[in-house]
Amino acid sequence: FDMFVLAFVERFFRPSYKKDDFVLGKKLGEGSFGVVYRVSLANKPSSKEGDLVLKKATEYGAVEIWMNERVRRACASSCADFVYGFLESSSKKSAAEYWLIWRFEGDATLADLVQSREFPYNVETLILGEVQDLPKGLERENRIIQTIIRQILFALDGLHSTGIVHRDIKPQNIIFSEESRTFKIIDLGAATDLRVGINYIPKEFLLDPRYAAPEQYIMSTQTPSAPSVPVATALSPVLWQLNLPDRFDIYSAGLIFLQMAFPGLRSDNSLIQFNRQLKRCDYDIVAWRKSLETRCSPELRRGFEMLDLDGGIGWELLKSMVRYKARQRLSAKAALAHPYFDKEGLMTLSFMQ
């Protein structure tokens, strides 16, 4: 109960905005459920390009506002800074339109960065804020990728500890925050908050098949549907333990890890092809690796070489994320404690100079 009073008080004292307060800038993205623009405040013309981001969303915007409000109170550093969300009803359009406002975190998503030929060195420069004058090589690339995957897992741990499963973890939904110099998660449009029953019934059509775990339903189809209003139920943590819905995100994060290690798997087509191969191997990634051994390209070989560093600790982590059975995948918290992360990440590199 206290939490709702607190939420009300916070809401009351925070600035509230309406449609006319914003000047629309460049379009940043357009999905089936909304359009995203860079915007600035009308009364603050100093911010030329706009230091805010606006998503005009369809009816799913209501859930996304709820998720963002909750994240801001419970695990703010996991996601892009949410400013405000409201129902925009002044237009003549018949369909409801929700407006969501965030702080503009930066120009690059992980998808943009991974597609660059400079990857992962472009990320090293962003995180450290300087170009490293060190020899390039597997060891260094491994440390950069380790730092990225640790930041993703850290953000996921925050969401999962709050009871939120994102369900659309992919490089396009991970933004590099220039201010904090870390990766943050965006796009809670498909997220589900299982502790309070928001968006409880999975909308499978929202899921991106390229990064989706093999389980079709995140919660067992046997579980009763929860109320669609934010009423906490004592049952939910039990259901969480039974179904481990958070492991869906871990599988997606594992695929991102894989794409970072193997340049040849970074395009959409090659990822789709990988998914097909893995399915043919009954989702056994060790069998997938074996199936490649005779016809392994030098590029793939280099990826395996990187994962095999330090006694194969990276490969070990990847194996425990990309598994068919959700129960056998590590949680975000357990993954963060994996020995792959024992060696220091990027900070060490800057101290070495």
Instruction: Kindly list the catalytic residues.
Output: 168
- Does the protein bind ligand ADP through residue 189 (CB under 6 A)? yes
The pair of structure tokens assigned to 214 is 């093999």
3-state secondary structure of 79: strand
Query: What's CA 183's distance to the chain center, in Å?
Result: 9
- Does the protein bind ligand ADP through residue 36 (CB under 6 A)? yes
- Does the protein bind Mg ion through residue 173 (CB under 5 A)? yes
Cβ proximity to ligand ADP, 187 vs 215, nearer residue: 187
- Does the protein bind ligand ADP through residue 105 (CB under 6 A)? yes
Cβ proximity to Mg ion, 53 vs 346, nearer residue: 53
16-to-10, 12, 75 alpha-carbon distances in Å: 11, 8, 22
- How many residues appear in the chain? 353
Amino acid at 225: S
Q: Which of 80, 165, 260, 313 binds ligand ADP (CB under 6 A)?
A: 80
- Does the protein bind ligand ADP through residue 173 (CB under 6 A)? yes
- Does the protein bind ligand ADP through residue 29 (CB under 6 A)? yes
Q: Which of 97, 141, 157, 187 binds ligand ADP (CB under 6 A)?
A: 187
- Does the protein bind ligand ADP through residue 33 (CB under 6 A)? yes
- Does the protein bind ligand ADP through residue 278 (CB under 6 A)? no
Tally of CB atoms within 10 A around 243: 21
DSSP 106-138: -S-BHHHHHHSTTTTHHHHHHHHSS---S---H
Q: Which does 34 bind (CB under 5 to 8 A by kind): Mg ion, ligand ADP, none?
A: ligand ADP
Distance CA 15, CA 6 (A): 16
Closest alpha carbon to 164 in 281, 76, 227: 76
3-state helix, strand, coil in the chain (%, to 5): 50, 15, 35
Size of the site for ligand ADP (CB under 6 A): 20
Least separation in angstroms between CB 189 and ligand ADP: 5
Which positions touch ligand ADP (CB under 6 A)? 28-29, 31, 33-34, 36, 53, 55, 80, 102, 104-106, 109, 172-173, 175, 186-187, 189
